[in-house]
Amino acid sequence: MMDALSAPPPAALAELDRLMARGAAFFGARYALLGGAMSWVSERNLVAALSNAGAFGVIACGAMEPHHLDAEIAGTKALTSKPFGVNLITMHPRLEQLVDTCLGHGVSHIVFAGGIPPGAAIKRAKEGGAKIICFAPALALAKKLVRSGADALVIEGSEAGGHIGPVSLNVLAQEILPHITEVPVFVAGGIGRGEAILSYLEMGAAGAQLGTRFVCATESIAHANFKRAFIRGHARDALPTVQIDERFPVIPVRALQNEGTKRFMEHQAMVLKRFQAGELAKEEAQLDIEHFWAGALRRAVIDGDVEQGSLMAGQSVGMVTREQPAAEIVAELIGQAAAALAARRGFA
């Protein structure tokens, strides 16, 4: 196979454009590559860099309050004239205000994550002119979300970093892609090279979402210690957390193992004890755990505490080998996909 850094044949690039056309048109971007929303990492600098590179950047709202999100969107608009989206967590207590904040800025795409979005939030966003993207962990839910008004879906495998479901992308793609054709479906989880993106495009995906691959972008504000941990990390180091009591389900989180992982287990046990004692309602307890992760992730990403902080990472972390500009990473992914296409189909 030709070197992905050499220019692929024009015919291969044209065919890749054809395979990505639906997803690229949905975003209004050059490529059907969606930036995964990573709290503290997917802020204005990385989001704008991805959109400027031809991909589609997405702000991770996480636990932000509406006024913080307002400032982040304004900051992103100052760095790019290209379209970008905002990822909102469905359990946020001020979800509808966050939707209004997005609409007030004319944000073109809103991604609802962390659960099934309330019908009122979807209605509010769509009436405000935004396109809605939802996560679908199973075919039945994918169909339900489309009926509820989702304009596109992301199917994210358990190989992903951060909060994950129980099923691998390999299985989800086979289960969902042949059956959901009325809206674009983007694949996510464990994707680190262009050849994998091509394979899913040929299976019917509209494009791909990548997060871990962009953590070490030059424009990423992640602390140098955090980036070094990714560059040194291997797929086998990124493991999911364990649920300690089936009566209190906690969504697993995939991260590089460190002392912070152990601290989460201790925190989870403490929250469970308070829940059982009647000190916390179930939703309060789950929010408490979410806040733990937000704080632990900030300690690692912003402060550089890679021992006690959270190193959320997907299994593609082993493919992160150096710091590179976002545009270079995007070009590398596209080059790899086009080179594989050229070799597979005999383009000269």
Give the model's pLDDT for residue 5.
55
- 217 and 247 co-located in one domain: no
Residues 6+ apart with CB under 8 A from 238: 161, 254, 255, 256, 313, 314, 315, 317
Per-residue model confidence as pLDDT tens digits over 16-69: 999 999 999 999 999 999 999 999 999 999 999 999 999 999 999 998 999 999
pLDDT at 35: 98
181 contacts 204 by C-beta, under 8 angstroms: yes
Could you give the angle at the alpha carbon of 147 between the alpha carbons of 158 and 96, nearest 5°? 80
> Which residue, among 162, 163, 161, 155, has the nearest Cα to 187 in the 3D structure?
155
Is residue 137 domain-shared with residue 202, that is, in the same domain? Answer: yes
| pLDDT tens, position by position, 266-302 | 888 898 889 889 998 887 887 788 778 778 999 999 9
Residue ranges of the chain with pLDDT lower than 50? Answer: 1-4
155 shares a domain with 276: no
Residues 286 and 171 in one domain: no
Is 2 part of a structural domain of the chain?
no
Copy the structure tokens of residue 311: 């190193």
Q: What is the pLDDT of residue 348?
A: 66
Structure tokens at 299: 């300690």
Query: Is the same domain home to 152 and 63?
Result: yes
Residue 194 belongs to some domain of the structure: yes
Q: What pLDDT score does 220 carry?
A: 98
**How far is Cα 11 from Cα 215, in angstroms, rounded to an integer?**
32
Do residues 189 and 237 both lie within one domain?
Answer: no
Q: What pLDDT does residue 263 have?
A: 85
The reply to whether 16 and 141 lie within a common domain is yes
Look-up: residue for tokens 């953590």?
Answer: 215
As a whole number of angstroms, the distance between CA 105 and CA 135 comes to: 23
Structure-block tokens of residue 72: 């982040």
Q: Are 111 and 89 in contact (CB under 8 A)?
A: no
Q: How far apart are CA 341 and CA 333, in angstroms?
A: 12
Q: Is the C-alpha dihedral spanning 34, 40, 41, 42 positive or negative?
A: positive
d(CA 44, CA 74): 9
Answer yes or no: are the C-beta atoms of 341 and 4 closer than 8 Å.
no
pLDDT value, residue 227 = 98
d(C-alpha 326, C-alpha 331), whole Å: 9
Could you tell me if residue 16 is inside a domain?
Answer: yes
